[in-house]
Amino acid sequence: MKMEIQEQKENVLQGRTEVHFLVDHDKESTPGRHAVAEELAKKFNTKRELVIIDSLDSMYGVGKTLGYAKIYKDVATAKKFENDYLLKRNGYQDKPAEEAPSE
């Protein structure tokens, strides 16, 4: 899997870096969100949990995937600005509330 950063923009107001990228995975299966996030974390010298993959769009028959990710400065900022479904897709599992024992 080869990754090429196509556009990178600092969003100071929301404390993140927004990245558009192209993944070349010729003769391989489409990489998952976690594999792509690991690769982005390596490229930007940050922790995996600070990378939120927003979208991955595979090109039919080509073996390439376009993607958009947000790399946050800290976990609290990510949880403040991201939707719950994106946090869940990217591995942020909130602990379920304990239910009161039924009588």
| 78: its two tokens | 């990510």
| 88: its two tokens | 């869940």
Which pTM was predicted?
0.80
Its CATH architecture, for the domain 2-89, is 2-Layer Sandwich (3.30)
Contact criterion met (CB below 8 Å) for 79 and 30: no
Closest Cα partner for 56 from 79, 27, 86, 92? 86
Over residues 56-85, the pLDDT tens digits come to 999 888 889 999 999 999 888 888 888 888
Burial class, 49, CB count within 10 angstroms (exposed 0-12 / middle 13-18 / buried 19+): middle
Over residues 39-49, the pLDDT tens digits come to 999 999 999 88
Phi, psi for 54 (deg, rounded to 5): -85, -45
> Which helix or strand (DSSP H or E) is residue 11 part of?
strand 2-11
